[in-house]
Amino acid sequence: MLYKHFGKGTEAGNNLIIEEIHESTDKGVSIRMTPLIISTTVLTHLFGGSAGREGTAVQIGGSIASYLSRLLKLKKVDNRILLMSGIAAGFGAVFGTPIAGAIFAMEVLTVGRIKYDALLPCLYASTLADLVCSACGITHTHYHIIYQDAHTLIGSLGLNLNLSLLVKALAAGIAFGLAALLFIRLSELIKSTASKYIKQSLLIPVVGGGLVLLISYMLNTDDYLGLGVNTQNGTGISIVSAFESKVDSFSWLWKLLLTAITLSMGFKGGEVTPLFFIGATLGNSVAVLLGAPIDLFAGLGFIAVFAAATNTPMASIILGVELFGGEYLLYYAISCVLAYYFSGHKGIYHTQRVEVSKGLKNN
């Protein structure tokens, strides 16, 4: 309702910002996007919607950047770079990962090609945004991979290499890519089905909210509502718990379903933190199945499902290094790249363009 009355032209969110970077229209992205996405994300979380904050931060950064661009009457090329810097700032600030934020802002625009002309502005914006958050006393959740392995490659770098574990990471990467593909296709299906059968658009979020609550009631848990980083009592299933002990084998699937319903039926928020939950819990389950370290594979799933769903493998590998350390860089790379290839060309951002094919027959 808020978007219908006050936010016409801003409903597309991140997709609108990506499209504006590609096309750089005179109209730009309305500054109204900022208060609207903040208020609607708060409402989504308040009522238990399964959504994150990254999309919100990116939209805040992008809409403010677009406003400043119009205010300063920048040229199209400068407008593009400023918008990308806004995306980088939002991502870097939310997760405390400035380097990944800068790479993400450049990589998310097109599949298969990165333009580095905005690298320095994006890195500057992402780093400054992270520093401002730190100065304001804002902290980020820390995830730990405690697993240690005696096998190492290139001693000076301390990179771990265990061939048996590498094969398991390869298999897990395929599973992560297929999970991302399922999320993308299911989200599209839910959105099209809701639009087809619910003629009154204002009823779509009502029905969606009802479905989320009904499924949660049937599962007898609220672990899959909200962000999912931690649970209220500290004993349920969350991203943090996925690094520490075995979780329910299908927890990733329930989070995937509730997130797809939430974001496809009118609620606002980010997709990324739920993708982290899906990936971490799936990685946990795959680790149990393959006899692999739970914390390491939760970390691999964390970054690889995100890489596959957003088509940003390079940013995701760097995200892994910034969040978990660089010792298992080879495993990050193999999981993210395999997941990226097995997720197809489509991603969660439909205005993302395919510049270079992945070499897949199927989209």
pLDDT digits (tens, 9 = 90+) for 237-258: 999 999 999 999 999 999 999 9
Minimal CA–CA distance to 246: which of 303, 300, 289, 279?
A: 289
Q: Is residue 41 part of a domain?
A: yes
Domain check: are 285 and 161 in the same one? Answer: yes
Residue 110's DSSP bridge partners are: 353
Domain check: are 83 and 169 in the same one? Answer: no
**CB of 259 within 8 A of CB of 183?**
yes
Q: Is residue 360 part of a domain?
A: no
Domain check: are 237 and 295 in the same one? Answer: yes
- Threshold 0.95, pTM exceeds: no
Check residue 47 and give its pLDDT: 73
Give the 3-state secondary structure percentages of the chain, helix then strand then coil, rounded to 5. 65, 5, 35
**CB of 302 within 8 A of CB of 280?**
yes
* Phi, psi dihedrals of residue 228, rounded to the nearest 5°: 85, 10
d(CA 62, CA 87): 6
Contacts of 222 (CB under 8 A, 6+ apart): 48, 216, 232, 236
Taking the alpha carbons at both ends of the chain, their separation in whole angstroms is 34
Check residue 318 and give its pLDDT: 98
Check residue 34 and give its pLDDT: 86
Q: Which two structure tokens, joined as six digits, stand for 159?
A: 């990179």
Domain check: are 165 and 57 in the same one? Answer: no
The number of folded domains in the chain is 2
What is the overall mean pLDDT for the chain?
89
pLDDT digits (tens, 9 = 90+) for 166-213: 999 999 999 999 999 999 999 999 999 999 999 888 899 999 999 999
Domain check: are 336 and 216 in the same one? Answer: yes
Domain check: are 126 and 159 in the same one? Answer: no
- Residue 301: which domain range? 152-354
Domain check: are 222 and 328 in the same one? Answer: yes
Domain check: are 129 and 180 in the same one? Answer: no
pLDDT digits (tens, 9 = 90+) for 30-62: 888 888 888 888 888 777 777 777 888 888 988
Confidence of residue 154 (pLDDT cuts 50, 70, 90): low
Helix pair 272-290, 163-197: axis angle to 10 deg: 140
Q: Is residue 14 part of a domain?
A: yes
d(CA 302, CA 172): 12
Confidence of residue 266 (pLDDT cuts 50, 70, 90): confident
CA dihedral defined by 341, 343, 348, 349, rounded to 10 degrees?
40
Write down the residue that tokens 């399964």 correspond to. 50
Residue 303's CB is within 10 A of a number of other CB atoms, namely 31
Domain check: are 118 and 199 in the same one? Answer: no
Strands, DSSP E only, in the chain? 110-111, 152-153, 159-160, 353-354
Residue 160's DSSP bridge partners are: 152
Q: Is residue 27 part of a domain?
A: yes
Domain check: are 164 and 129 in the same one? Answer: no
Domain check: are 18 and 102 in the same one? Answer: yes
Q: Is residue 13 part of a domain?
A: yes
Q: Is residue 177 part of a domain?
A: yes
